[in-house]
Structure 1
Amino acid sequence: MKEKRPFFNLDDERGVLRISIIVTLFIAIAGIIFGLLSGSFSIIFDGIYSLVDAGMSFLALIVTNLINSHAMSQRLSRRLRERFTMGFWHFEPIVLGLNGILLMCVAIYAFINAVSSLLEGGRDLEFGWAILFSVIAVITCFTLATIEARANRKIKSDFLRLDIKASIMDGGITAALLFAFCIGYAVQGTQWQWISPYIDPGVLALVCLIIAPLPFSAVRQAFSDIMLITPASLMHHVDTVAQSFTEKYGFASYRAYCAKVGRSTQIELYFIVPAGEAARTIGQWDALRDEIGQALGEASSDRWLTIVFTGDLEWAE
């Protein structure tokens, strides 16, 4: 009987994502509530940013479950198996790209609102509520990022890597807000109180300028995977292995096709066998495939490897 893993298992990608979703939802709800109580659009933005992040983490959890279930031949509906016979890996870069784009769009929208508020003279805040939320959120965000980073040293998940970056970004946003709110609280009743209404939109505009470009690298990588752009390092490795086997067994030539799609590596190798080559049994061809597969690297459930031997070059083109 298969041992059931804990729901919040730190050794499993899905368990860590569940923790992230719960914590991020807590920050999101608290941010919206405290933002309304304090009158701070910066805190409301922080809550909405966290809400978007939680939604995307939930979507990432669904995709992770699908990928693992398919790769480990666990129970899937017949409809899913018939419609996704080549697995669910292609959903991973789609989700990662969508996540990064949404986070950048939220930051750009908030920046526009912050500039508009500055031009209108800013807004007054209840700094006590704002400072209380900021302290709670900063501690929570950086604690979550630390837990996820430690877990991902072993798991090595792109989903968790982006989620860690989002937690650090969220913590950085809130830390900047906390610093600004403390200044605003300190100048109350002094000759500098006139700057108080500008603190909230001013710091929000600055934070948005900093965080808006941060998900760009994840979006670029996601689109690279979606468009099946072959990583140079992967192509070099496959070419090296294929060339060595071509020379070792006297094949005429080979054709290699590679792509990285999310966590999966897809490799197709076609070896062109000379017309006068001695016949081999099916067992001998399969043994040769095993040898090539081992030379390419350790097999895993996230590698899609096809090795074909043919005497007709047209089958490889």
Structure 2
Amino acid sequence: MALWEALMWNEQGVLRISIAATMVIAALGIVFGILSGSFSIAFDGVYSLADAALTGLALWVSSLIVKSAQNDALSGRIRNRFTMGFWHLEPMVLMLNGCLLMAVSVYALINAIISVLNGGHELHFGVAIAYSATTVVLCTVVAVIAIRMNRRLKSDFISLDIKAWIMSGGIALALLIAFLVGLAVKQTPAAWIANYVDPLVLGLVCLVMIPLPIGTVWKALTEILLMAPVELKEHVDHVASRTVRSLGFLSYRAYVARVGRATQIELYFIVPEGLPPKTVEEWDALRDEIGAAIGDESANRWLTIAFTADAEWAE
């Protein structure tokens, strides 16, 4: 139990467990797909294999972000080499993940359409049903565990991984139902339908899966493009405006963005010329006050606050 808790207590542990389970499903999918003659099962295996590779990439990025925040010698060397951190890699990985999963689904959909037009193919339903039932159980268990852990961790990587598990479980459940129906009609006058079960269910599953990562891809794209989140910009504007009014400054410029788990904020206050001088400690105290008003102080907040009488420095 202690080992299990140690593995699952952080983002990297959850992702490692997910990769291991995904590799098991990928291997089962490819083997059972060949044995049963099912394109949809083989697709499920290939999809899982791609998902495992991308989850491994997410694990690597997550490890880099965590290491860069530590205080040991290795982390110090990493920070000296990558002074801006690794936050920017997170949305890139998420976007790559979503785009690749959609591309795999589109390719499978095209193959399903071709198979239907060619009259379908024969399928060994017993093997296919055994695989689908096993996969439904495994996907459900891993998804439930990841959902429970992410209530505390709140990781975008784990959130996307949960979606992938739900999608994989949905695929397996759809396959299971379709294979049961195909087996039921095989000895009836409608036996001709059995040849179409596999490509039809594959096509339907792909139609459902293709749009699912769109939200993740769009969110990642906004972060890559450094688009300012509306709520964050309004909050920073409120704090900055209140500071300008209370201290008699002329104006301010605010630049905000979210990149992965990081929040980046740059605030420039335009002060009147000839303002009575303050000590460095007094300016630092003012920065602390503004930073506390903005909130969310953590290793993932990148906050810069500057004061200048020359507006060009703030543009």
Partner residue of 1:204? 202
Identity of aligned residues (%): 56
In structure 2, distance between residues paired with 1:267 and 1:222: 18
Partner residue of 2:231? 233
Deviation at 1:8, TM superposition (A): 5.3
In structure 2, distance between residues paired with 1:46 and 1:213: 17
SS at 1:277 equivalent: coil
Deviation at 1:192, TM superposition (A): 1.4
Partner residue of 1:284? 282
Q: 1:156 aligns with which of 154, 157, 167?
A: 154
In structure 2, distance between residues paired with 1:6 and 1:186: 42
Regions of 4+ moved over 6 Å: 4-7
Q: Which amino acid aligns with 1:236?
A: E
Aligned length: 314
Partner residue of 2:255? 257
Deviation at 1:278, TM superposition (A): 1.2
Q: 2:271 aligns with which of 270, 273, 289?
A: 273
Q: 1:214 aligns with which of 212, 215, 218?
A: 212
Contact 2:33-2:41 at 8 Å conserved across structures: yes
Q: 2:12 aligns with which of 6, 11, 14?
A: 14
Partner residue of 1:91? 89
CA shift in 2, pair 1:5/1:301, >3 Å: farther
Deviation at 1:37, TM superposition (A): 0.6
| TM-score computed with the length of structure 1 as normaliser | 0.96
Q: Which amino acid aligns with 1:283?
A: E
Contact 2:68-2:75 at 8 Å conserved across structures: no
SS at 1:9 equivalent: helix
Q: CA-to-partner distance for each residue in 1:72-103, whole Å, 9 max, x for gaps?
A: 34444777444421000000000000000000
Q: Which amino acid aligns with 2:284?
A: D
Partner residue of 1:108? 106
Q: CA-to-partner distance for each residue in 1:107-157, whole Å, 9 max, x for gaps?
A: 000000001011111111111110000001001111111110111111111
RMSD: 1.6
SS at 1:42 equivalent: helix
In structure 2, distance between residues paired with 1:117 and 1:6: 44
Give 1:1-317 correspondences, 5 Å limit. 9-76=7-74, 80-317=78-315
Any stretches of 5+ residues in structure 2 without a counterpart? none
Contact 2:69-2:75 at 8 Å conserved across structures: no
CA shift in 2, pair 1:312/1:5, >3 Å: farther
Q: CA-to-partner distance for each residue in 1:12-45, whole Å, 9 max, x for gaps?
A: 1111111111111111111101101101010000
CA shift in 2, pair 1:189/1:113, >3 Å: same
In structure 1, distance between residues paired with 2:292 and 2:285: 11
In structure 1, distance between residues paired with 2:264 and 2:5: 31
SS at 2:8 equivalent: coil
Moved more, 151-160 or 185-194: 185-194
| TM-score computed with the length of structure 2 as normaliser | 0.96
Q: Which amino acid aligns with 2:193?
A: I
Contact 1:8-1:19 at 8 Å conserved across structures: no
Deviation at 1:314, TM superposition (A): 1.0
Deviation at 1:7, TM superposition (A): 8.3
Contact 2:268-2:306 at 8 Å conserved across structures: yes
SS at 2:255 equivalent: strand
Contact 2:67-2:75 at 8 Å conserved across structures: no
